[in-house]
Amino acid sequence: MRQTTRERLDASAREILQENDRGGYTVPARGLYPFQWNWDSCLVALGWAAFDEARAWQEIETLFGAQWDDGMLPHIVFQRPDPGYFPGPEVWRTGRTPATSGITQPPVAASCVRRILERARDRPGAEAAARRLFPKLLAWQRWFHCMRDPDGSGLVAVLHPWETGMDNSPAWDEALARVDVAPDLEPYTRRDTQHVAAAERPTAAEYDRYMTLVQLYRAHHYGPEIVRQAPFRIADVATNCILLRADRDLLWLAGRLGLDDAPRAEIAGWIARTEAACAHFRDPASGLWHSYDLRVDARAPTPTHAGFLAFWAGVGGAALADRLESWLAGTRYGLASVRAEDPRFERRRYWRGPVWAIANFLIGAGLAESGFDRLADRLRKDTAELIAEHGFFEYFDPGDGSGCGGDRFSWTAAMWLAWAGRELA
How far apart are the C-alpha atoms of 362 and 339, rounded to whole Å? 18
What does the alpha-carbon distance between residue 37 and residue 50 come to, in Å, rounded to a whole number?
20
Q: Please, which residues have CB within 8 angstroms of residue 371's CB and are 6 or more apart in sequence?
A: none
Clarify whether 394 is annotated catalytic.
yes
Name residue 99's beta-bridge partners.
78
Instruction: Confirm whether 382 is a catalytic residue.
Output: no
In angstroms, the CA 128 to CA 113 distance is: 12
Which residue in 40, 53, 149, 167 is the catalytic one?
A: 167
By the 10 Å C-beta count (0-12 exposed, 13-18 middle, 19+ buried), 173 is classed as: middle
How crowded is the C-beta side of 396, counted as CA atoms within 13 Å?
Answer: 32
φ/ψ of 176, rounded to 5, equals -70, -35
H-helix segments, 226-348 = 226-229, 237-256, 264-277, 310-313, 318-328
The Cβ-side half-sphere exposure at 41, using a 13 Å CA radius, reads 34
Q: Hey, CA dihedral for 339, 341, 345, 348, is it positive or negative?
A: positive
Cis ω for the linkage preceding 87 (within 30 of 0)? yes
What crossing angle do the helices spanning 318-328 and 373-390 adopt, rounded to 10°?
30
Q: Check if the beta carbon of residue 348 is closer than 8 Å to that of residue 168.
A: no
List 249, 394, 397, 407, catalytic entry? 394
Q: How many CB atoms lie within 10 A of CB 239?
A: 27
Active site residues: 167, 394
